[in-house]
Amino acid sequence: MRIDVITIFPEYLAPLRQSLLGKAAERGLVSIGVHDLRQWTDDVHRTVDDAPYGGGPGMVMRPEPWGRALEAVRPPGTRLVVPTPAGRPFTQAMAAEWATEPGLVFACGRYEGIDQRVADWAADAGPVSEVSIGDYVLAGGESAVLVMVEAVTRLLPGVVGNRESVEFDSHADGLLEGPSYTRPASWRGHDVPPVLLSGDHAAIARWRRAESLRRTAARRPDLLAALAEGALTDAERDQ
Ligand SMILES: COC(=O)c1ccnc(N)c1
């Protein structure tokens, strides 16, 4: 998979070359390009932003540098991802879908965002996803890109050693993962649930499913409602 990131802070994306991602890149499973937006500016001050039409606080990123950058970096048909607090929620399902695609281009916005015409114009050359990683505002999209690139690349075949650990992730089946334990069996007065020491794999699987449902009901009832809705729709379709 090819991943390109366009940003005015290329050094912010240095962690992409570390650890899991670094190894994946070394093994040719993913190739990453980080590009400084300012190389596509057209003035001596390398200006990337301007005052917002209609007034209001802050600055908006100008469309011209972005247009030239995307024409230079984005292969036709490649998904453009624009991290923004005003985007659709980024989900594990999105990560799984994007992991099957040949490439991704990420546009990191600063200030009050990027002139909307960039996303609108870019939609003519391929899918554009304006996505949020949560209900909070950051100074720029770079942190969100680190999050999304990690979520996507860990799903690429060969990146995570034990494939099962990916398939039993939280959100992989629409539920939160239950609690995990390792040795010692008793620690500071806290014991590992006996079923996990029983060797009864059917009972262990039932217990894990129950804990996953219990935790999801307690922490993310919205996920449980969505799962129920989906199950009901499937049942109605089968009638
Ligand atoms: C500038 O970008 C953001 O503030 C941002 C991007 C993606 N998700 C968010 N929750 C915020």
What are 225's two structure tokens?
Answer: 């409602």
Q: Give the ranges where the chain is alpha helix by DSSP (H).
A: 19-26, 63-73, 92-98, 116-122, 142-153, 163-167, 201-219, 221-238
Tell me, using a 6 A CB cutoff, whether residue 147 lines ligand 1: no
Each residue of 145-160: pLDDT tens digit? 999 999 999 999 988 8
Q: How far apart are CA 197 and CA 130, in angstroms?
A: 46
For the cut 80, the answer to whether the pLDDT of residue 33 exceeds it is yes
Identify the band that residue 239 occupies on the pLDDT scale cut at 50, 70 and 90.
confident
Q: Is the peptide bond before 184 cis (omega within 30 degrees of 0)?
A: yes
What order do you get walking across the sheet with 2-7 strand by strand? 31-36, 2-7, 103-107, 79-89, 128-132
For the cut 70, the answer to whether the pLDDT of residue 20 exceeds it is no
Query: Which residue type does 147 have?
Result: V
Q: What is the DSSP string of 73-117?
A: H--TTPEEEEEEEEEEEP-HHHHHHHTTSSEEEEE--BTT-B-HH
pLDDT at 27: 87
Each residue of 57-101: pLDDT tens digit? 999 999 999 999 999 999 999 999 999 999 999 999 999 999 999
Whether residue 71 lies in the annotated active site? no
Going by alpha carbons, the residue nearest to atom 9 of ligand 1 is 85
Going by alpha carbons, the residue nearest to atom 4 of ligand 1 is 138
Q: What is the DSSP string of 51-68?
A: PPTT--SS-EE-HHHHHH
- The rounded mean pLDDT for the chain is 94
Q: How many CA atoms lie within 13 A of 198 on its CB side?
A: 12
pLDDT at 172: 74
Whether residue 26 lies in the annotated active site? no
What atom of ligand 1 comes closest to residue 141's alpha carbon? Answer: 2
Q: Which of 128-142, 199-213, 218-232 has the lowest mean pLDDT?
A: 218-232
Say whether 197 sits in a helix, a strand or coil. helix
Of the candidates 65, 62, 8, the residue with the CA atom closest to the CA atom of residue 36:
8
Report yes or no: 133 and 148 within 8 Å, Cβ to Cβ. yes
What ipTM was assigned to the predicted interfaces of this complex?
A: 0.99
Task: Please pick, among 10, 52, 63, 85, the residue that the annotation labels catalytic.
Answer: 85
